[in-house]
Amino acid sequence: MTKKALEIKDLKREFQMGSEIVRALKGISFTVEPGEFVTIMGSSGSGKTTLLNILGCLDKPTIGEYFLDGVDIKKLSRDELAQLRNHKIGFVFQSYNLLARTSALENVELPLLYNKDISVAERHERAMHALEAVKLADRADHLPNQLSGGQQQRVAIARALVNEPVMILADEATGNLDSRTSYEIMALIQELNSKDGKTIVFVTHEPDIAAFSSRTIQLKDGIIQKDTKNEKPRSAKEMLAALPVTEDYTLSS
């Protein structure tokens, strides 16, 4: 049996808010196979963000088990979790979170700086390679404020790719982008998923985005409401081609 990318068993997460206990997640189980593209959907208050934090190893479940690439995160210390994030997870955030006044290349190199096994030469090479994968190799020395929103998000995706993670975890990654740029980003993510076989977990509240994935998990009030396979995901590339070409955009990809 092949190793699951991630495996969650009866996961619960509770918060102490003053004298009240808030149950954000009330028992969730699912597994993700390597190479899947999963969207986790839910309105606010559904426990989506809590689940995201746990999936991203930023938080630990109160009860239940979470295996990431076969590693039980419950047993890990704060520092070990950091290492795990460094080696196995690539984050993509809604607001890109690039370091200001730092070139695209250096932003992409950042995760490798925290991996002491990687030499300077290898770091450069892998960062350039990741930028090539998002088709921004020619902007390597641009600063974030010299890049468009879509380009910044692509730099962020390159940063998520550079450590060759088990899973790319995207949090509303298209939330700050207009629809054309959103499609561009989705097309890129689909390509990474289909061509390179990257496992992708995409947290969003837009049903529109969920249509691009191969599986949708719908959260409501801390439990899984629906877990559906999408046999025929839409192609973002085709959607992009179908959009009317306007003058204020030129395709850079």
Binding footprint of other proteins on the chain (CB under 8 A): 53, 56, 58-59, 78-79, 82-83, 85-87, 91, 93, 97, 99-102, 106, 110-111, 113-116, 159, 163
Nearer to other proteins, 120 or 241 (CB): 120
Tell the smallest beta-carbon distance from residue 204 to other proteins (Å).
Answer: 17
Query: Which residue do the tokens 């250096």 mark?
Result: 106
144 Cβ contact list (under 8 Å, min separation 6): 96, 98, 99, 100, 101, 102, 104, 107, 152, 155
CB of 163 to other proteins, least distance (A): 8
Residues in the chain: 253
Nearer Cβ to other proteins (187/203): 203
| CB closer to other proteins, 85 vs 126 | 85
- The Cα 207–Cα 204 span in angstroms is 8
In the complex, what is the shortest distance from the CB of residue 168 to other proteins, in angstroms, rounded to a whole number? Answer: 12
The torsion angles phi and psi of 19, rounded to 5 degrees, stand at -90, -10
Name the residue nearer to other proteins (CB basis): 96 or 183: 96
CA distances from 231 to 212, 234, 249 (A): 10, 10, 32
- Least distance in angstroms from the C-beta of 81 to other proteins: 9
Q: Considering the complex, what minimum distance in angstroms separates the CB of residue 235 from other proteins?
A: 30
Closer of 78 and 195 to other proteins (Cβ):
78
Q: How far is the CB of 58 from other proteins (least distance, A)?
A: 5
List of residues 6+ apart from 200 with CB closer than 8 A? 36, 37, 38, 167, 168, 170, 189, 192, 193, 213
Task: Report the C-alpha gap between 171 and 180 in whole angstroms.
Answer: 19
Q: Which residue, 83 or 235, has its beta carbon nearer to other proteins?
A: 83
d(CA 20, CA 17): 5
Residue 54: how many other CB atoms lie within 10 Å:
24
